[in-house]
Amino acid sequence: MERELRVVMIEDDRDFSAVLKSVLDQEREPRMRLETFESLGAALPRLRGALGIDAILLDLSLPDSEGLSTLDVVRDAAPEIPVVVLTVNDERAAGLDAVRKGAQAYVVKGAIDLKFVPRLLEHAIERKRAELLLSENRRLEELNRMLMDRERRVLELKQEVNALLARLGEAAKYNVEVPETY
């Protein structure tokens, strides 16, 4: 069965987009389907809800958004989709900062053979999947801990009620009145 990865690329450099599209079109396993947008504003409606998107390629220098705030907007719109940031040589630090802020990887345009981008995208998808599973596991562990704490408290309350019932039973046996503090 042939797999297909659906990638959204937000990049205003048409020449770079065309070259990368050509590289991705040659990929056979998995097939890469690329949707391109030249501005963040144009891409946002597609990103919201993120249905049918496996990864996002994001240029940090767009006509309507610049720098790491671009990544913030994309991550807010599609928090569960892995983002690979596209930078130019003089923006390497921005690429590293983007990874620190949650991007799965960065690509320096012109410094990497684009034939490696499909593998990079697959790795980014797997890293994001692992990140989400780890996050979900932590959430479930916390819920389990809360549940165990509540169960422990219910058992304590049950013991207190049984003790009170036993005292009430003893008092009734001797026709003794139980003080109202119980």
pLDDT of residue 175: 66
In the predicted model, what is the mean pLDDT of residues 49-64? 90
What are 131-178's pLDDT values in tens digits?
A: 889 989 999 999 999 999 899 898 888 888 888 888 887 766 776 666
Report CA dihedral (24, 75, 78, 74) to the nearest 10 degrees: -70
Instruction: Enumerate the β-bridge partners of residue 85.
Output: 58, 106
Residue 7's pLDDT band, with cuts at 50, 70 and 90, is very high
Residue 174 sits at φ, ψ, to 5 deg, of -105, 10
Q: Is pLDDT above 50 for 182?
A: no
Residue 28's pLDDT band, with cuts at 50, 70 and 90, is confident
Integer angstrom CA distances of residue 64 from 47, 60, 73, 120? 16, 10, 12, 26
Share of the chain above pLDDT 90, in %: 41
* Mean predicted lDDT score pLDDT of the chain: 86
Q: Is pLDDT above 70 for 40?
A: yes
**Which 3 state secondary structure label does DSSP give 83?**
strand
Please give the residue that has the higher pLDDT: either 71 or 116: 71
Residue 124: other Cβ atoms inside 10 A: 21
In the predicted model, what is the mean pLDDT of residues 10-15? 93
Please name each of the domains of the chain with its CATH number: 4-135 (3.40.50.2300)
Q: Is pLDDT above 50 for 12?
A: yes
Residue 89's pLDDT band, with cuts at 50, 70 and 90, is low
pTM of the model: 0.74
Q: What is the DSSP secondary structure assignment for residue 176, as one 8-state letter?
A: P
pLDDT of residue 177: 66
Please give the residue that has the higher pLDDT: either 88 or 70: 70
* Tokens found for residue 178: 């139980």
